[in-house]
Amino acid sequence: MTGSGSPSLRLKPGRHALFLDIDGTLLEHADHPDLVSVDAELLDLLAALDVRLDGALAFVSGRSIGAIDQLFAPLRLCAAGLYGLEHRLLQNGPVVEAREPADIAALATEMEAEFGSTTGVYFERKGPVLAIHTRAAPDALSAVQKAAELALPRLSEEYRVVVGEAGLELIPLQAMKSAAIRRFLELEPFSGRQPIFIGDDTSDESGFELVNRLEGISIRVRPKAETSARHILADVAAVKSWLRDEVLGNPGR
């Protein structure tokens, strides 16, 4: 494992751009993604960060933007959903959505027939991304992974299987958090700023690598393996504490 403790930082208008993963970073993982919730304290924190950064704040998540908006209503921040396959490049702006290809739909139906009756296994169909959650059924992960990898050659687009602590996802190769972050950095108000990216999973590593190349700040939450992130935070509570106390400087205290 690499990386040091949390960096000392104060966000400065015009200087920093902040990119945030959601599950495992801002919210604790749950057995099913619909079981998480956002409290008023987190909403207030995000609103304060957004004001401090003049809007240079974006979610970069595996969730769809529709799901992100439901969680964080009434906020409609800039967002990259489905690892960058969906995006809202302007606050309150239009969303470019990604639809479910026929071959992924067929595969999801097949795998649901095979594993859907296994207690604790949940399927999440997110357009071109198929997530299979096994947090509540860890013994099933090996069989689910084997079936997913065997199915890859049948898909018309190139896919990869990304295995995490909560299960796995079948994700198109072009869906990369690094590409999503780079897209934002080409636009106002993000352009010309030092990027900060906080994430917790394997899918966040490409974002850490990009941010490192750009001399930004990369932070991984609760890493259990090697990471490219240069800093580490212990858990979700530590992320929120760092953002509130170190980054904003105890607003309202």
Known catalytic residues? 21
How far apart are alpha carbons 54 and 61 in whole angstroms? Answer: 21
Q: Go through 167-203 and write b for each residue having 16 or more CB atoms within 10 A of its CB, e for each that does not.
A: bbbbbbeebbbbbbbbebbeeebbeebbbbbbbbbeb
What are the CB-based long-range contacts (under 8 Å, 24+) for 137-142? 140/115, 141/167, 141/168
Element (H or E) spanning 149, and its range?
A: helix 141-151
Residues 173, 190: Cα–Cα separation, whole Å:
25
- 26 CB-near residues (< 8 Å, 6+ apart): 20, 42, 236, 239, 240
At residue 205, φ and ψ (nearest 5 deg) are -60, -35
What is the H or E stretch that residue 133 is in?
Answer: strand 129-133
Longest Cα–Cα distance in the chain:
56
Give the tokens for residue 72. Answer: 């964080």
CB burial of residue 98 (10 Å; 0-12, 13-18, 19+): buried
By three-state DSSP, how is residue 195 classified? strand
